[in-house]
Structure 1
Amino acid sequence: MPVIGLGVYQNPNCKPACLAALQSGYRHIDSARAYKNETQVGEAVRDSGLPRQDIFVTSKINKIGGGYQSCLNAIGDSLKNFGFDYLDLYLIHSAYGGKTARLEAWEALLAARKAGKLRSVGVSNYNVKHLEEIREAGLEAPSVNQIELHPFCQQKAIVDYCRSHGIVVQAYTPLVRGEFGNPVLQELSKKYGKDPAQILIRWSLQHNFVPLPKSQNPDRVRSNIEVFNFEISGEDIEKLDKLDRGKDGAVTWNPVDVD
């Protein structure tokens, strides 16, 4: 899995951003059925001229209440939308639906992976209790948990659980939706000669998260991957770490506490 990906949430016409990303060195695009842009992502991958196997594409199922077969049908529909034979990663988008629905959906994802339709499977917005349900059911653990993650909302208990169980943590909304006014963030931006978005992405990378910055602006897309030519010092990482406000720091729906 490439260590940084392009997010395409709320971007139904995401093809220009995807092409800019792929031309700039991104090899990872994060979509979802709820975003209604799987077709656009597929077109961008084909039009990029890059080999399909060089690009890591993710999607997510957002409605799991219909049961096992319904989830399998959704996976098939996603593949049709993308125009792909397989997806690199497929996630359960959230824990909404209840325990029975979550476990049936998870079993469907495992079955689709076994059938070769998915290369890897995971979850999104899962708290520790949701991850424990999978373990207690005797099922294989997710390879990924994608959660809101940035200095202001660090979800430490979830991150600690994932790390102790070998689950990769992907960070969505790593750019806090452009809320860059924090004095510490501004201070470090000036110190390192990088824009606040690049500081936030670098923070995520240095914590071994997989950030998924989103932008519809091709110039911003390109700028967001220019983060491999500097490193934030340990002292400055600590300054950012101290900005954590727990759940109060979230800027999205962050539905990790559903039953």
Structure 2
Amino acid sequence: MPNPELITMNDGHSIPQIGLGVFQMSNDEAHASTLAALEAGYRHIDTAAGYRNEQGVGAAIRESGIPRDEVFVTTKLQNGSHARRDARAAIEQSLEALGMDHVDLYLIHWPQPSQGRYTEAWESLIDFRSEGLVTSIGVSNFLPDHLDTVVDETGIVPVLNQIELHPTFQPHDLINHCSDLDVVVESWSPLGAAQDLDHPEIVRIAESIGATPAQVIIAWHLHRGFVVIPKSRTPERIVSNFAALDVRLNSEQLELIDGLDTGVRIGGDPAVL
């Protein structure tokens, strides 16, 4: 069984480089998928209040028998809860649903600039960290100006930014800005909502090295130093995705995948949401 690499974040804590994403899963589906992932060797589960499946994730971690301190758990502050009082209620609700006294990483799910309160939300996350409710704090879907705003106004740099990132959408300016700030980049929708799996170059590389297209794409994320959270409800695919840790791509293959960027998003634009 391969062992996931650990990436050290700017607060000194480490995150497993591959995890299971549970977006668009019911509680029952998240429960089953989390159990399958933990059995396969994953030690990183990514959920969110907005997914409405934290309860299933927490139950699966307890049932797995794996000590809590060996599983890295991420959840997120839901949209509409950026005000201090609302953020406080949100973290308490998430911890209750998960059945935990803390999470390893807590993220602002979207900046929602139209609300104009993401700095207020960030200040709440700073408080939660100081209280021990969360170990590390970060953001999701933040663009360079959002990152600069929270850093300039609080002096605290997020440890991680979870963004849409896959072979056909590679926001280089944002990735470089995160690197400049020492912010880890985490890829959501790392397979391009499965659309990138059928790309001829991905298929060709997969056939040439005896891997699946999903393994090739996940290996590309890993080689590029991103944290990656592929989602699957199928135990066999959960196992297969994890095996991407053992897939090696040469420099030519990596550069071919680098060249697939179209600049076209699958998800929403954080600048306008």
TM-score interval, smaller chain: over 0.9
Give 1:144's aligned residue.
160
Give 1:37's aligned residue.
53
Give the C-alpha shift of residue 169 in structure 1. Answer: 0.5
Which segment drifts farther, 100-109 or 38-47?
100-109
Give the C-alpha shift of residue 61 in structure 1. Answer: 1.0
Give the C-alpha shift of residue 67 in structure 1. Answer: 1.0
- Deviations 1:32-79 (CA, angstroms, capped at 9, x unpaired): 011000000000000000000000000011224551121011001100
Q: d(CA) in 2 for partners of 1:164 and 1:101?
A: 24
SS of alignment partner, residue 88 of structure 1 = strand
Q: d(CA) in 2 for partners of 1:251 and 1:189?
A: 23
- Read off the aligned partner of 2:194 and give its amino acid letter: G
Q: d(CA) in 2 for partners of 1:84 and 1:163?
A: 32
SS of alignment partner, residue 244 of structure 2 = coil
Give 1:8's aligned residue.
22
- Read off the aligned partner of 1:8 and give its amino acid letter: V
After superposition, the Cα gap between the structure-2 partners of 1:149 and 1:93, relative to the gap in structure 1 and judged at 3 Å, is same
Q: d(CA) in 1 for partners of 2:37 and 2:228?
A: 14
Q: Does 1:62 align with 2:78?
A: yes
- Deviations 1:3-59 (CA, angstroms, capped at 9, x unpaired): 101000000121111000000000000000110000000000000000000000000
Give the C-alpha shift of residue 135 in structure 1. Answer: 1.9
Give 2:11's aligned residue.
none
- Read off the aligned partner of 1:137 and give its amino acid letter: E
Q: d(CA) in 1 for partners of 2:149 and 2:67?
A: 38
Give 1:119's aligned residue.
135
TM superposition score normalised by structure 1: 0.96
TM superposition score normalised by structure 2: 0.91
Give 2:249's aligned residue.
232
Within 5 Å, which residues of 2 pair with 1:27-106?
A: 27-65=43-81, 67-98=83-114, 100-106=116-122
Give 1:203's aligned residue.
220
SS of alignment partner, residue 245 of structure 1 = coil
Structure 2 gaps, min length 5: 1-14
Q: How many residues align?
A: 256
Structure 1 gaps, min length 5: none
Contact 1:28 1:56 in 2 (8 A): yes
- Deviations 1:179-217 (CA, angstroms, capped at 9, x unpaired): 222110110010110000000000000000001000011
Identity rate, percent = 38
Contact 1:61 1:93 in 2 (8 A): yes
Q: d(CA) in 1 for partners of 2:135 and 2:73?
A: 10
SS of alignment partner, residue 246 of structure 2 = coil
Q: d(CA) in 1 for partners of 2:253 and 2:88?
A: 46
Give 1:194's aligned residue.
211
